[in-house]
Structure 1
Amino acid sequence: MIGYYVNKGGADRSQLSVTGTHLFVSGVRPSSEGRSLLPALGDHRVSSLFLEPVSAGNFAVVAALWAMARLPAQPRRHYAVLALAVVVAVLADSRLAIGSGLCVALALGTPLPRARAALLALPLVLVAALVLIGWTSAPRAIDDTLGGRLYSSGTLLASWNVAQWLGVAWSQGIEDSGYAQLFTGLGVLPAAALWSLVALRTEPTALAERVRCGLAVYLALSLCITGSVLSIKTGALAWFLYGASQTFLPRAPARRATARFSASVPA
């Protein structure tokens, strides 16, 4: 798997010695850290056709949020999809998938799917919180824990100047901050405009409202520590499902055959 990334220029051959395998560098948990979900499965993080486990975890969240959005209509079928999504997240040892999936489940159980203003403000609140973390936190080592990743993202954003926020100046060290990657590529103003187009849209179906809410929570939270959600491997699937929900019409219940008798019965 690492050979694919080396050939396309996204990794260096020196990474082959990091894990001692042909897996991507994140495909094996360091022995000092170990697997977080079901340690008995070992340090290998399953990635399957996604080539690296982060995208496998993202796929699990997208599948889970679609299943949760569809639960009111077809609970039995989509509970099965939800269970399979959890299995994928556990095999990939994706802590982010489990955490963001739980947040999506909580959000879908509230009035948030219809609260367009709240969805619009969600990334603004999270970015402001990251900057506040960067300003107020004491210097610390950056590690692979949630606190370490939030600290890394927050200190980076807090150090930016106006040109970097507008996306006209490059910034180093944006790999572990999804918002930094997004703003470096687009700028904060175009990114906010694109977000508002979706957040403030009047959805034609209740399913579209639930899918939009789930995707908004998933994206806004994940971008705090990673830009992997922007990858076409799972981003395309998420966008497709959101589009499909716009015109989704539930199947009409089958009519039960009943015998009809004439009102007039001959003598």
Structure 2
Amino acid sequence: MNLAAAAPAADWRGPYQARAAYGVLIGALVFNAVLCFLNTAGFPVSGGTVIGAEVAIIAVTLGFALDDRPGPWLILAGLVAYGLLLLALRGSTDVKGVRDFLIPVVFYNLGLRNPDLRDADRAVLASGVIVVVMGLFEYGLFDIYQQYFNIVRYYVARGSMSASEISELTGSLFTSGIRPDSRTILPFLGPHRVSSVFLEPVSAGNFGAVLFAWALYRRTMRGRAWLFTCAAVTIILADARFGAYVCVAIAGAMLVGHRLPRLLWFALPFTILLGLTIYGFESMQVTWQNDMSGRLLWAALLITSLPPEGVLGIMPDKLFLSDSGYAYALTQIGAAGTLVAWSLFVLMPARNPDGWRLRCAMAVYTCLLLVISDSPFSIKTAALVWFMLGAADGAPPEDTPPREA
């Protein structure tokens, strides 16, 4: 049983607290773009600046998300203690794994305390509008945009890229900001893949799928058509092939997923991980192309390259595993932590039975995305995902009147 949802969460005590809570959601969405703007304007940032910004956002969210219920505090304490134990066993000071535990707990409980799904609708739609407006600015006025947002310089400053990776092909954009081959979605738009506030197009495409999931889930949402539009525009501008595929999978999960047993959902990521492991050991290929089959091969090779201590999450060496979310999860939180975290996600009860439909959709989103990326752990998209899940789980069924704020 999940202690975070064992008892109803207390509603917000006033509109100002709710607005401030939604403010941290927007902050999690745009802080990288703000730091990129500051770095481009001559106020240098570093990796420590980014970490500090994330810690500040999580800390503020924590103040709004948790109340006097003991369950969330116990879960948070247990997960943090486990994360710190892994750090000690690695002999490392990199707290990224601990942060990966914090984000789901605090943002889920932030949504759980939301008094009305209509407020959540406004928060999600506002996020979508911000992403689209910024994306249209980047695409339509690119010469002006890059004067204020030099993305590649920002990633070099924060230590995520080296100066040797800067390419004349992509210019001030992230390395995946230009499609070197033919564009898949609306080729006449050109090779530029729009990143919007995320600064790289992969997260933009993933965020489009998240918006699509909420719009599909909220049948009575005011402005639902606009949210569908925001999702489509975000995916199209980013030329996010995977994001488009995930939308199809989300629609299927929303339609039939709630009829499937929870045991199947519990087994889903481990079945995928097992399949990738077998593929990695059996495949004789060592080179891969940047297409779907190539990404699957590369993910499988990364997983099978992990030593036993990597699978347990105690490997001291830090590897680049962003192209395989499953490999990243194993090295950051270990096999035991992954098992416990997924168990909490699948087995936790919901006050609103309809919320299970959204959880099925987000389970598909997470399991598929982990094949080729560690993006589900990024606060840029994860904050809204977990807020949505908490809001859906904590809401009354749609045929009952909403709680008063």
Q: Same fold (TM over 0.5)?
A: yes
Partner residue in 1 for 2:336? 189
- The equivalent position to 1:2 in structure 2, one of 142, 152, 170, is 152
User: For the residues of structure 2 that align with 1:231 and 1:154, how far apart are their CA atoms?
Assistant: 21
Q: What's the CA shift for 1:174?
A: 1.6
Partner residue in 2 for 1:215? 362
User: For the residues of structure 1 that align with 2:257 and 2:370, how far apart are their CA atoms?
Assistant: 23
- With the length of structure 2 as denominator, give the TM-score of the two structures: 0.58
User: For the residues of structure 2 that align with 1:251 and 1:80, how far apart are their CA atoms?
Assistant: 24
Size of the aligned set, in residue pairs, is: 249
Contact 1:27 1:44 in 2 (8 A): yes
Alignment pair present for 1:229 and 2:379: no
Partner residue in 1 for 2:254? 108
Partner residue in 2 for 1:163? 309
The verdict on how the C-alpha distance between 1:112 and 1:132 changes in structure 2, with shifts beyond 3 A counting, is farther
- The equivalent position to 2:167 in structure 1, one of 13, 17, 20, is 17
Alignment pair present for 1:65 and 2:213: yes
Alignment pair present for 1:40 and 2:188: yes
Cα offsets for 1:192-234 (capped at 9, x unmatched): 1111011012221133212211111100010011112211000
Cα offsets for 1:162-211 (capped at 9, x unmatched): 22210112464423111111111110111111110110122211332122
- The equivalent position to 1:204 in structure 2, one of 348, 351, 355, is 351
Alignment pair present for 1:78 and 2:224: yes
- The equivalent position to 2:201 in structure 1, one of 28, 45, 53, is 53
User: For the residues of structure 1 that align with 2:153 and 2:218, how far apart are their CA atoms?
Assistant: 39
- The equivalent position to 2:299 in structure 1, one of 140, 143, 153, is 153
User: For the residues of structure 1 that align with 2:292 and 2:189, how far apart are their CA atoms?
Assistant: 22
Alignment pair present for 1:136 and 2:282: yes
- With the length of structure 1 as denominator, give the TM-score of the two structures: 0.86
The verdict on how the C-alpha distance between 1:60 and 1:148 changes in structure 2, with shifts beyond 3 A counting, is same
User: For the residues of structure 2 that align with 1:167 and 1:20, how far apart are their CA atoms?
Assistant: 35
Partner residue in 1 for 2:23? none
Contact 1:27 1:46 in 2 (8 A): yes
Q: What's the CA shift for 1:246?
A: 2.0
Q: What's the CA shift for 1:241?
A: 0.9
The verdict on how the C-alpha distance between 1:113 and 1:230 changes in structure 2, with shifts beyond 3 A counting, is farther
Give secondary structure in 2 for the equivalent of 1:23. coil
Q: How large is the RMSD of aligned CA atoms in angstroms?
A: 1.9
What letter is aligned with 1:120? F
Unaligned stretches of 5+ in structure 2? 1-150
Q: What's the CA shift for 1:239?
A: 0.8
User: For the residues of structure 1 that align with 2:206 and 2:242, how far apart are their CA atoms?
Assistant: 8
* Residue range with higher mean Cα deviation, 168-177 or 219-228: 168-177
Contact 1:167 1:183 in 2 (8 A): yes
The verdict on how the C-alpha distance between 1:15 and 1:157 changes in structure 2, with shifts beyond 3 A counting, is closer
Alignment pair present for 1:89 and 2:235: yes
Q: What's the CA shift for 1:153?
A: 1.1
Query: 1 or 2 for the larger relative contact order (CA 8 Å, sep ≥6)?
Result: 2
Contact 2:280 2:297 in 1 (8 A): yes
The verdict on how the C-alpha distance between 1:130 and 1:6 changes in structure 2, with shifts beyond 3 A counting, is same
Identity of matched residues, %: 37
What letter is aligned with 1:19? L
Partner residue in 1 for 2:264? 118
User: For the residues of structure 2 that align with 1:12 and 1:177, how far apart are their CA atoms?
Assistant: 21
User: For the residues of structure 1 that align with 2:320 and 2:293, how far apart are their CA atoms?
Assistant: 17
Q: What's the CA shift for 1:79?
A: 3.9
* Residue range with higher mean Cα deviation, 105-114 or 209-218: 105-114
Contact 2:167 2:175 in 1 (8 A): no
Unaligned stretches of 5+ in structure 1? 254-267
Instruction: Name the structure where helix makes up a greater proportion of residues.
Output: 2
Query: After TM superposition, what 4+ stretches of structure 1 lie above 4 angstroms from structure 2?
Result: none
